[in-house]
Chains A and B, each alone.
Chain A
Amino acid sequence: MSEPAKGISRADVSHLAGLARIDLSEAELDHFAAELPAILEHVAVVQQAAGDDVEAMSHPVPVNNVFREDVVVPCLTPEEALAGAPASDQQRFLVPKILGED
């Protein structure tokens, strides 16, 4: 097993998985904690590439706000929109309780 690189530990991976809403198993946490340091070390070279004078490029083609005419166009029916839902009720998405009970 490689040593975790500076900046990412098993606890960090667990925290990140929580942020990403993925309930990783203990085995998955072990696996990623062992593997991610090498990947992060590899990608960290980008920090040496450019100084403060270089602008960040978020998009390959410059895009400004794109608008269309404010007119009604055909869209999905409620039935179509709900067709793929795991659960629905009275033309609404049915979801588990939003708040935890503690």
Chain B
Amino acid sequence: MTDLTKLSAADLAGKLARKEVSSVEATQAQLDRIAAVDGDVHAFLHVDAEGALATAADIDARRAAGEGLHGLAGVPIAVKDIVATKGMPTTCGSKILDGWIPPYDATITQRIKAAGLPILGKTNMDEFAMGSSTEHSAYGPTRNPWDRDRIPGGSGGGSAAAVAAFEAALAIGTDTGGSIRQPGALTGTVGVKPTYGGISRYGLVALASSLDQAGPVTRTVLDAALLHELMGGHDPMDSTSIDAPAPLVVSAARRADVKGLKIGIVKELGGEGFQAGVSARFHEAVELLTSAGAEVVEVSLPSLEYALAAYYLVMPSEASSNLARFDAMRYGVRVPPAGADDPSAEQVMASSRDAGFGDEVKRRIIVGTYALSSGYYDAYYGSAQKVRTLLARDFASAFEQVDVLVSPTSPTTAWPLGAKLDDPLSMYLQDVATIPANLAGIPGISLPVGLAEEDGLPVGLQFLAPQQADDRLYNAGAALEKLLEDKWGGPMLAQAPDLEVVR
């Protein structure tokens, strides 16, 4: 009997379409797996067994009745807890939203429901997606399935760990500075940040509105393309949504051919500061691409020097503004100040925000408030916006020379839980390779390229492409995935520890 939890979404979808298995069987298998391993992994904040099985049964009935269904109908999915799900808790990893049940669905939730994918539950994340380790969740950290004493990356550590631990084949993530790609790299999974505006932001809890982008979290490049296609395309409910034909990502993932593709290695994203095992696996992967007919050159993005600093101004500035909506008046937790007899709304607001927000969220709100305050605005926020212009120019000139850019996704493999918690700046530096794509609005994919020799932990490689050329990522990513799996004799996750036995 096939272990249904080990199948890719594409393979499971095929079996469902041929009626070899039912969606109820597949969904129950995922729920059993979650029950067996999630006590240790803690990828989920909420599991909706009843709702998932009801959707599965409905899809099975409709399939039996001969109804035409979406290609992924009946394939279970996990959803990051930043996405509004009507009738299902949405905390965004924060105490301030403890117990909040959204009265509406995000557009991507609607699209998933309309396509008939059972929603297994909501995945853990750094509070308000602020963090690179998932340790800033108010509900406790997620653990890396490869080594449960290590972080899974963040902010979307829950979605990445769920997929890596075979708790789901598909998950939704959001990426403001690397929150899909970096956890993908650290857990040996695939994650894509689409072009800004490629997937609707309506119904996502906003972190930094000019950077936020939802995308797929999966184990294979084709699965990511299938989920990207399902979620993507214009949405009138999001005024920044791109009103143009969506890139043809699924056919690109099936093409998987890098012959003649021009690939640029980003000179600034390597060398010093990058772990030896990360660099080694990265360069081997680039050699494989060369052997398959890609043309590889080195390119320079001089403004990258300033990108991280610009990001850590733009993001807190926009976040401090977005998070003003958590005022303890219309929804969320209200905590009156201790000792005040008849507190004013403003006092209740301030005490609720102190009680409801965690350390990292407060830190970034203060930094953002500082950067936006009168007298500092031009020097900080204004200068950071100019860096975005410079960076966009650098990317534009790089993409005149090459089709895609390539770099390691993260400078290191997964670090031990707690190792960087007391040093926010060192945590921020981990995002150096992922944040440029968000600042410039371009798409990026991370996929596994092997295990670092020194610690046996997953290493990710990132491709970047011009805006609206997401298809190039899928073509190059699928080609590299195939080259690597031929070399390894199977997927990299086959080497991951068997959590149920260890337990």
> Which residues of A pack against B, CB within 8 Å?
7-8, 12-13, 16-25, 28, 32, 35-36, 38-40, 42-50, 54-61, 63, 66, 68, 76, 80-81, 83-87, 93, 95-101
Contact among A7, A24, A44, A49 for B386, CB-based, below 8 A: A49
Contact A93 B329 (CB under 8 A): yes
Measured between beta carbons, the chain B residues less than 8 angstroms from A98 are 344-345
Given the known interface contacts A93-B330, A100-B344, the answer about A16 and B240 at a Cβ–Cβ threshold of 8 Å is no
B316 shortest CB reach to chain A, Å: 9
Contact A57 B386 (CB under 8 A): yes
Closest to B336 in A: A96
Contact among B310, B345, B362 for A24, CB-based, below 8 A: B362
A-B interface, 7 closest residue pairs, ranked by CB to CB distance from nearest? A60-B441, A84-B331, A86-B334, A56-B385, A50-B386, A66-B239, A23-B350
> Which residues of B pack against A, CB within 8 Å?
100-104, 196-197, 210-211, 236, 239-240, 242, 303, 305-306, 309-310, 312-313, 320, 324, 327-334, 336-337, 342-351, 353-354, 357, 362-363, 365-367, 369-371, 373, 376, 379-380, 382-390, 392, 424-425, 428, 439-442, 467
Contact B310 A46 (CB under 8 A): yes
Contact among B197, B333, B380, B392 for A57, CB-based, below 8 A: B392
Compute the total of residue contacts between A and B using a CB distance below 8 Å. Answer: 190
Contact among B309, B331, B373 for A16, CB-based, below 8 A: B373
Contact B441 A96 (CB under 8 A): no
Contact A46 B309 (CB under 8 A): yes
Closest to B393 in A: A54
Contact B309 A23 (CB under 8 A): no
Contact B306 A49 (CB under 8 A): yes
Of listed A13, A18, A85, A95, residue having the most chain B CB within 10 A: A95
Contact B242 A35 (CB under 8 A): no
B327 shortest CB reach to chain A, Å: 8
Supply 24 A–B pairs (Cβ within 8 Å), ascending by A: A20-B320, A21-B346, A24-B362, A39-B363, A39-B425, A42-B309, A43-B384, A44-B309, A44-B380, A46-B309, A46-B386, A49-B303, A49-B386, A49-B387, A54-B389, A55-B386, A68-B236, A76-B104, A80-B103, A81-B103, A83-B103, A85-B329, A85-B330, A96-B345
